[in-house]
Chain A
Amino acid sequence: MKNLKSTFIAVAVLLAVSSCKKDECHECHYDIDGSTVSIGERCGDALEEVEKSGYAANGVVFDVHCHEH
């Protein structure tokens, strides 16, 4: 029974640890004239902001994608 208890505690700890939320990071880019321009990695709130508001370059705001295809 002791072993049984230890197994359940270990599983509970494992699940709790693995469910912690971590900041996501992604390489982002925008497209212009058929070519892709990288704007580097964005994480957490910065990632959310750039996806929502876009990226300004030379007075133009571009729609940004932060995933590979």
Chain B
Amino acid sequence: MKNFLFIAFLLFGFYAKTQAIQGLVVDAETNVSIAFANVSLVDYNVVVQSDENGLFSIMGRYPLPLTIRVGATGYELKTVKFTNDESLKISLDPIHFDFDEVNVTASGNEMKRNNVSFVELKSVKELNEVPQLSLGQMLENIPGVYNASTGPGISKPVIRGLQGVRVLTLLNGVRMEGQQWGGDHGMGISELGIGTVEVMKGPASLLYGADALGGVLYLSNELYGYQGAHCIEVGSHFESATLGTVNHLLYKGATKNLKFIVGGRLASHADYQTPSKQFVKNSRFQDQNLKFGMGWHRGMWVGNVRYDYSNSTIGIPGHSHDSVPATADFLSNKQLRKKSLPVQYLTNHVASWENKLILNRHTLQLLTSFTLNQLLEHDEKVTIPELFLNTYNLPYKFNVESRLKNNVVLNYGLQGMYLSQINAHEAVGRLVPNANQADNGLYFVTSWTRNKWRLQGGARGDVRSITSKVDEKFTSQFSKSYVGYNFSLGSSYEISKRHLVRLNATSGFRIPHLSELLSDGVHHGTFRYEVGSTDLTTEKAFQVDFSYEFTGEHLSLVLNPFLNQIVDYIYLEPQDYLKGGMRVYNYNQTKSGVTQYGGDVAVHWHPHFAHILHYESSFSYLYMQAREQNAYSFIPQPRWSNSIIARFSMKSKVKVDNVVVQYHYYLPQTTVAQFETASVDYGVLDVGMQMSVVGKLPLKLQFGVKNVTNTTYINHLSRLKNLGLHSIGRSFYVKLLIDLKIK
């Protein structure tokens, strides 16, 4: 009974002191009210918009104090504490020009500027100024991030040259465990309802545990929408090079205490067209996606239930029965969409339940989730699968954020997962045995802020246990536990409002994946016979990352060099014999370390003499070295990306919003492993325009041309490179978007 009363007190004891929050948003210099400012309750996922007179009202009962964040176009984002029942007057400082960038990270619900390491934070809208075919392709617009592809249907993120099991992907905080270990398996996530993408480059095991060695990709849903309003978004996108269509419907709405996001997406692409007007056989793919999210709050309790479903049918190009196939064997004069072999059916279910208790100085968060990744691969038979692998996972995270003092915050908690990998009996082949895996980690991170300094540091310990099961193919059982200890220590110093420097040292570790330990079979998608080794130990990484940010009136600049040392690096060593008709590759480990160094430079210039223009340019460079010749491969080509956007603010009913010109120049890559060839430089030019029609049915229309000059090229990270298959040729696109808001 005592316990019950205590829980009831916790749930309802500190109950709200305010019925509704009302306020006014004004310009700090002129005191003129600001219309259509976004006002959000930081911890509650509640957003409202100020009216024409700058007035806003947030419905509901909330415990005090509250953190309120206010932003408007042309003004600096401001965070204020609301401590009493009185009406609020929030004044915003005007900024000379607006970069129109997102500023708040979803991973830590924090201003990007407050992080002690540089975090790339982009909205999906920013990444789609020229619409892309997949989320993987969109990510290539982020400095230091690349896309390893097997045609347009299969793409994997590459961060600072590392990919697959070395990059951790999280969807709304849920760890995606699927086929990231396979070179030919895509992400299984679409851009449907995704609002922001955060990229943490380099090791981040302190916050995310094992495997966050190369970097972390954190994807977050769009906000639920304005309180008291309903939004319906209908979109249709056509691409000429794949005769591809992508259609989606998304609903977002919020009442006083409940918030929803619901959507669906269908995509269908035929074989893609190369610059020589031929089509790459079986590069076709189809996607179906569903998204559901519901949030609520009651007093100090905030909850979210989310579910994402994806189902993809993906052709695997580059398949031939000839022992010495020619490039022409993989090309056709016909553009087909119908399913052909080999084919992958990839299904993902991601369900999560997040609960937060917001107390006066402490916030308790419990995230429990379930994910199922199903990979079904047919190579030679239409009805008999070659591979049928189910990966079930139960990730969890319990975090406590304690504000010890006004300038000292401590985060601590537990994080882990219980994973089970099961081969279905229908499949004739199996690459890895059935196995169970349990991860548990304990961590703390503390941050201290004083004047212009911010210090953050923490430590973490993790244990992973792996147990495999015996069957007719894998006759010996494997059972082992791995331990990892990690730390992070970083600092930022705001020299002035314009200049900011950061220095951060982090460690990371990666436990050998089941496929690296226990593989023994043909991996068709990668054209290899892979053999694992149970002697592999954990990979360890240590990175020092420095960043300098300048934010002027017309110019912003980021310099972000780094040095990363990885020891016991696991790699595939090609052997000089074949098995099952494929070259044998053994998993091996370096005796010395692999050193990576490089960095990104990004500039955003908004010239004073031409206020409609935005020029963005970034340069990414990476170098890797190791004593073993084959330790690393697929080092991305250095990239120089340029974008010029002219943004117009017309008053007419039919208006031009922007005109975009993008040019990505890839420099040659000559640092290669055995059986890997060098890549030459190339440049791709894209142009586009966005128009809108204002009225009862607001329309947005994007159209343009990608690869305008029809350049013939093969990216160094394309798995089709060895087959001599060129990337996509000139492609015309049209995208129509209807965005309805109903109050």
Enumerate chain A interface residues (CB-CB to B < 8 A). 1, 4, 7-8, 11, 15, 24, 26, 47-48, 51-52, 65-69
Distance between A68 CB and nearest chain B CB, rounded to angstroms: 6
Kindly provide the distance from the CB of B267 to the nearest chain A CB, expressed in whole angstroms: 13
> For B230, B341, B383, which residue has the most chain A Cβ atoms within 10 angstroms?
B383
- Whether B232 and A7, one on each chain, are in contact in the complex, defined by CB atoms closer than 8 angstroms, is yes
- From A1, A4, A11, A26, B382 is in contact (CB under 8 Å) with A26
- Do A15 and B264 contact each other (CB < 8 Å), given the known contacts A4-B232, A68-B340, A69-B319? yes
Q: Can you name 23 A-B pairs with beta carbons within 8 Å?
A: A1-B742, A4-B230, A4-B232, A4-B251, A4-B742, A7-B232, A7-B249, A47-B382, A47-B383, A48-B383, A51-B381, A51-B382, A51-B383, A51-B384, A65-B380, A67-B341, A67-B380, A67-B382, A68-B340, A69-B281, A69-B321, A69-B340, A69-B341
CA of A1 to CA of B253, assembled, Å: 12
Residues of A within 8 A of B384 (CB): 48, 51-52
B320 touches A (CB below 8 Å):
yes
Q: Which residues 247-292 of B have a CB within 8 angstroms of A? A: 249, 251, 264, 281
Task: Select which of B230, B264, B320, B340 is within 8 A of A67 by beta carbon.
Answer: B340
Q: How far is the CA of A67 from the CA of B384 in the complex (A)?
A: 12
Please report the C-alpha to C-alpha distance between residue A30 and residue B410 in the assembled complex, in whole angstroms.
68
- Can you name the residue of chain B whose Cβ is closest to the Cβ of A63? B380
How far is it, in angstroms, between the C-alpha of A69 and the C-alpha of B380 when the chains are bound?
10
Interface string of B374-385 (1 = CB under 8 A from A): 000000111110
Shortest beta-carbon contacts, A-B, top 6: A67-B341, A48-B383, A51-B381, A66-B382, A51-B383, A26-B382
- Of A47, A66, A68, A69, the most chain B CB neighbours within 10 A belong to A69
Q: Which of B301-355 contact A (CB under 8 A)?
A: 319-321, 340-341
Task: Find the B residue at minimum CB distance from A31.
Answer: B321
Q: Are B381 and A66 in contact (CB under 8 A)?
A: yes
Which residues on B sit within 8 Å (CB–CB) of A47? 382-383
- CB-CB < 8 A to B264: which residues of A? 11, 15
Q: Which residue of B lies closest to A68 (CB)?
A: B340
Least CB distance from B277 to A in Å reads: 21
Q: How far is the CA of A8 from the CA of B250 in the complex (A)?
A: 10
7 further A-B pairs in the complex, CB-CB below 8 A; given A67-B341, A69-B320? A7-B232, A11-B264, A26-B382, A48-B383, A52-B384, A68-B340, A69-B341
Give bound CA distance, A47 to B381, whole Å: 10
Interface residues of B in 352-385 (CB under 8 A from A): 380-384
- Please give the distance in Å from B309's CB to the nearest CB on chain A: 11
Query: Are B382 and A24 neighbours in the complex by a CB distance under 8 Å?
Result: yes
Question: Chain B, 573-600, contact with A by CB distance < 8 Å: what is the 0/1 string?
Answer: 0000000000000000000000000000
**Residues on A with beta carbons closer than 8 Å to the beta carbon of B230:** 4
**A-contact 0/1 string along B72-112, CB 8 Å cutoff:** 00000000000000000000000000000000000000000
What residues of B have a CB within 8 angstroms of the CB of A69 in the complex? 281, 319-321, 340-341
A8-B341 Cα distance, complex, nearest whole Å: 35
Q: Give the chain B neighbours of A26 by CB distance below 8 A.
A: 382
Q: Which A residues lie within 8 Å of B742 (CB)?
A: 1, 4
Interface string of B681-698 (1 = CB under 8 A from A): 000000000000000000
Cα-based distance from A51 to B321 in the complex (angstroms): 18
A19 nearest CB across to chain B (Å): 8
Complex formed: what's the CA distance from A7 to B319 in Å?
42
A26→B281 CA distance, assembly (Å): 18
Report the minimal beta-carbon distance from B429 to chain A, rounded to whole angstroms: 15
Q: Collect the chain B residues with CB atoms within 8 Å of residue A52's CB.
A: 383-384
**A8 CA to B249 CA in the complex, in Å?**
10
Most buried by B among A7, A26, A47, A67: A67
For A12, the closest partner residue in chain B by CB is: B264
Give the complex CA separation of A26 and B338 in angstroms. Answer: 11
- Residues of A within 8 Å of B232, CB to CB, are 4, 7
| A1 vs B381: C-alpha distance when bound (angstroms) | 49
Q: Report B160 CB to chain A, min CB distance, Å.
A: 38
Q: What A residues does B321 contact at CB under 8 A?
A: 69
How close is B236's CB to chain A, nearest CB, in angstroms? 14
A66 CB contacts on chain B under 8 angstroms: 381-382
Q: Give A1 to B232 CA distance when docked, in angstroms.
A: 11
A51 vs B386: C-alpha distance in the bound complex, in angstroms? Answer: 13
**A9 CB to closest chain B CB, in angstroms?**
13
| Cβ distance B64 to chain A, nearest Cβ, rounded Å | 34
Shortest CB-to-CB span from B382 to chain A, Å, is: 5
A1 to B742, CA, bound (A): 9
**Complex CA distance for A56 and B384, rounded to whole angstroms:** 19
* Chain B residues positioned under 8 Å from A8 (CB to CB): 251
Q: How far is the CA of A51 from the CA of B340 in the complex (A)?
A: 15
| Shortest Cβ distance from B342 into A: residue | A67
Which B residues touch A11, using CB under 8 A? 249, 264
Closest to B321 in A: A69
Minimum distance in angstroms from B540 CB to a CB of chain A: 45
Which residue, B319, B320, B381, B742, has most C-beta atoms of chain A within 10 A?
B381
Contacts of A68 in B (CB 8 A): 340
The distance in angstroms between the C-alpha atoms of A58 and B742, with both chains bound, is 72
Q: What separation, in Å, do the CA atoms of A24 and B341 have in the docked complex? A: 14
Min CB distance B247 to A, Å, is 11
Give Cα A47 to B384, complex, Å.
Answer: 10
Q: Which residues of B contact A65 (CB under 8 A)?
A: 380-381
On chain A, the residues within 8 Å of B341 by CB distance are: 67, 69
Scoring B residues 217 to 244 as 1 if CB is less than 8 Å from chain A, else 0, what string do you get? 0000000000000101000000000000
Residues of chain B with a CB closer than 8 A to A51's CB: 381-384
Q: A69 CA to B321 CA in the complex, in Å? A: 8
Residues in B with CB closer than 8 Å to A24 are 382-383
In whole angstroms, what is the CA distance A30 to B321 when docked? 14
In angstroms, Cα B250 to Cα A7, docked, is: 11
Closest to A67 in B: B341
Instruction: Give the distance in Å from the alpha carbon of A23 to the alpha carbon of B112 in the complex.
Output: 53
| Minimum CB distance partner of B381 in chain A | A51
Closest A residue to B234 by beta carbon equals: A7
Q: How far is the CB of A12 from chain B (nearest CB, A)?
A: 9
Q: Kindly report which residue of chain B lies nearest to residue A48, judged by CB atoms.
A: B383
Docked Cα-Cα span, A17 to B383, in Å, equals 23
CB-CB nearest in chain A for B263: A11
CA distance A52 to B385 in the complex (A): 11
Identity of the chain B residue whose Cβ is nearest the Cβ of A51 in the assembled complex: B381
Q: When chains A and B are docked, how far (Å) is the Cα of A66 from the Cα of B382?
A: 7
A36 to B600, CA, bound (A): 55
Taking CB atoms, residues of chain A closer than 8 Å to B381 are 51, 65-66
Chain B, residue nearest A50 (CB): B383
List residues of B (630-685) whose CB comes within 8 Å of A's CBs.
Answer: none
Report A-chain residues with C-beta under 8 Å of the C-beta of B319: 69
In the bound assembly, the distance between CA atoms of A8 and B398 in angstroms comes to 36
Find the A residue at minimum CB distance from B382: A66
How long is the Cα–Cα vector from A26 to B251 in the complex, in angstroms? 40
A26 to B383, CA, bound (A): 11
Query: Which residue of the partner chain A has the closest CB to B338?
Result: A68
The minimal Cβ–Cβ distance linking A16 to chain B, given in whole angstroms, is 12
Residues of A within 8 A of B320 (CB): 69
Given the complex of chains A and B, what is the CA–CA distance between A4 and B229 in angstroms? 13
